[in-house]
Amino acid sequence: MKPDKALIFELSQPGRVAYSLPECDVPETDPLETIPAHLLRSVPAQLPEVYEVDVIRHYTELSRRNFGVDNGFYPLGSCTMKYNPKINEDTARFPGFAAIHPYQPESSVQGALELMFTLQNDLAALTGMDEVTLQPAAGAHGEWTGLMMIRAYHESRGEQRTQVIVPDSSHGTNPASATAAGFRTLTIPSNERGLVDLEALREAVGPQTAALMLTNPSTLGLFEEHIVEIAAIVHEAGGLLYYDGANSNAIMGITRPGDMGFDVVHLNLHKTMSTPHGGGGPGSGPVGVKTKLIPFLPKPVAAKRSDGTFYLDYERPHSIGRVKAYYGNFGILVRAYTYIRTYGPEGLRQVSECAVLNANYMMHRLAPYFELPYPGVCKHEFVMSGRSLKKYGVRTLDLAKRLLDFGYHPPTIYFPLNVEECIMIEPTETESKETLDAFIDTMIRIVKEAETDPGLLLNAPHGTAVRRLDETTAARKPVLNCSCGG
Ligand SMILES: *Cc1c(COP(=O)(O)O)cnc(C)c1O
């Protein structure tokens, strides 16, 4: 890694350009006549003057410093960093999907509408729900959308239910979404096995309960064995059940939230359905509901007429309204549709089986070296505690930083909050046994380093473009501009 290569401003030479344009064949206009004076620059923009090849090398160099699923193992728990199949990219680029406008006449975009309609039905079938909206742009957005529907449902029945219950292992977005949707949240502790404490739940529910939000399997990678009883407790109190299905990688084709008693579900297409995460790119968090909530779905919903044509249904008088411009992140929907069609129902079940197998294999091999707060069988991910490293003066954070030196993205750390020095690993199904073994061997090697040479961990990473960052200051006082040339 040669960081100096990226300082494109230092390569700048007056008069160099990275483009060649044909001679202008229309009359030039004077910007002073066409652009309002107050919008004109008074000082020329400070831009590097370089050749095209310098620009290409600059951005290629930067892209190589980035870490993604395409260049390494990324076992980030509760994030499902699985491989994104490239066929998804091919279909999303078909001109009939990529070059259409959201306001084109419906008759000219029948294929796109059919894809949305079919995807809605596929996701409903996969989750055991009755209808689906594709609008929400992320998991948290789906949660908020679902909670707004739950609110509208209770209000339509003349009930003022103000409280949402979450377990202490819940993803941070759950209480945040509940608050954003105007609810108060009540956190209930998990029992010693990491599961919902039924007694605590019974005491918590009442006429104020709007919903229980639950992830099953939970972020501890554990399946709630008493889910049917949990559902009954909440329903008997008049509340609804919200399923956070961001990580559905353990259950596809095996069980369905609808069958467990849930009323609302969101999925993260950018996790379970292999569409890309982040990088500033769009996500997608479709929400499925049981029949009693259908009237409140955001509009429009893709629908099919009796003559076989497709349309956007806006005739939904009780809808909570639109939650996203147009109809959701359409290009992502095409990728997820492609993924589902590539695998089919049997294939998706196999995906889940392999994800669970991989997680259990890793947990089993790492068990002698870390504390397992919840031993037994895990689902798609598992948590360990790095507490035993403390005796060498190192923490989970140091282990995570040391992993960077071996070319791995570290697992999720310090989440869920109810496990001390938590390490949360989600290998996904797309990794080979060789990859899993190499990572496990590296983890074991680092544990031994902690014992013999803790400084190696405390000062890690050693081989990355930037060394250890001051994460607190970076979060509190972010420096967002490039102090180039300074
Ligand atoms: C990732 C995740 C979310 C949030 O999804 P975003 O798309 O990041 O908003 C919610 N719940 C769980 C359990 C998750 O893993």
326 DSSP β-pair partners:
328
Tell me the CA–centroid distance for residue 143 and ligand 1, in Å. 9
- Assessment of whether the complete model's pTM goes beyond 0.85: yes
Tell me the CA–centroid distance for residue 458 and ligand 1, in Å. 30
Q: Is the peptide bond before 300 cis (omega within 30 degrees of 0)?
A: yes
132 DSSP β-pair partners:
288
DSSP 295: G
Say what the pLDDT of residue 280 is. Answer: 54
Ligand 1 atom 4 nearest Cα: 139
Ligand 1 atom 5 nearest Cα: 139
Backbone angles phi, psi at 102, to 5 degrees: -60, -20
Residues 411, 76: Cα–Cα separation, whole Å: 4
User: In what helix (H) or strand (E) does residue 9 lie, and over which residues does it extend?
Assistant: helix 8-11
Tell me the CA–centroid distance for residue 172 and ligand 1, in Å. 8
Tell me the CA–centroid distance for residue 145 and ligand 1, in Å. 14
Tell me the CA–centroid distance for residue 7 and ligand 1, in Å. 36
Tell me the CA–centroid distance for residue 283 and ligand 1, in Å. 10
Question: For residue 142, which atom of ligand 1 is closest to its CA?
Answer: 9
Ligand 1 atom 2 nearest Cα: 246
Question: For residue 268, which atom of ligand 1 is closest to its CA?
Answer: 7
Ligand 1 atom 3 nearest Cα: 139
Pocket test for ligand 1, best of 173, 213, 214 (most atoms within 8 A of CB): 173
In sequence order, the 6+-apart residues with CB closer than 8 A to the CB of 326 are: 102
Say what the pLDDT of residue 2 is. Answer: 46
240 DSSP β-pair partners:
211
Per-residue pLDDT of the chain (486 residues; tens, 9 = 90+): 444 444 788 889 999 999 889 999 999 888 888 889 899 888 988 889 999 999 999 999 888 888 999 989 999 999 999 999 999 999 999 999 999 999 999 999 999 999 999 999 999 999 999 999 999 999 999 999 999 999 999 999 999 999 999 999 899 999 999 999 999 999 999 999 999 999 999 999 999 999 999 999 998 999 999 999 999 999 999 999 999 999 999 999 999 999 999 999 999 999 999 999 866 569 999 999 999 999 999 999 999 999 999 999 999 999 999 999 999 999 999 999 999 999 999 999 999 999 999 999 999 999 999 999 998 999 999 999 999 999 999 999 999 999 999 999 999 999 988 899 999 999 999 999 999 999 999 999 999 999 999 999 999 999 988 899 888 898 899 888 765 443
Residue ranges per structural domain of the chain: 3-64, 86-342, 351-474
CB 479 within 8 Å of CB 466: no
Ligand 1 atom 6 nearest Cα: 139
Residues 188, 218: Cα–Cα separation, whole Å: 14
Using a 6 Å CB cutoff, which residues line ligand 1?
78, 138-140, 171, 173, 215, 219, 244, 246-247, 268, 283, 285
Ordered DSSP codes for 93-134: TSHHHHT--TTS-GGG-HHHHHHHHHHHHHHHHHHT-SEEE-
Say what the pLDDT of residue 1 is. Answer: 41
CATH H superfamily, domain 351-474: Aspartate Aminotransferase, domain 1 (3.90.1150.10)
Tell me the CA–centroid distance for residue 266 and ligand 1, in Å. 10
Say what the pLDDT of residue 483 is. Answer: 55
Of the candidates 358, 386, 389, which has an alpha carbon nearest to the alpha carbon of residue 371?
Answer: 386
139-156 vs 173-180: helix crossing angle, rounded to 10: 40
In sequence order, the 6+-apart residues with CB closer than 8 A to the CB of 433 are: 361
In sequence order, the 6+-apart residues with CB closer than 8 A to the CB of 51 are: 16, 17, 18
Question: For residue 215, which atom of ligand 1 is closest to its CA?
Answer: 13
Tell me the CA–centroid distance for residue 390 and ligand 1, in Å. 30
Residues 282, 330: Cα–Cα separation, whole Å: 10
Tell me the CA–centroid distance for residue 20 and ligand 1, in Å. 45
Residues 302, 127: Cα–Cα separation, whole Å: 18
Q: What is the distance of C-alpha 481 from the center of its chain? A: 27
Question: Could you tell me which CATH number the domain at 86-342 has?
Answer: 3.40.640.10
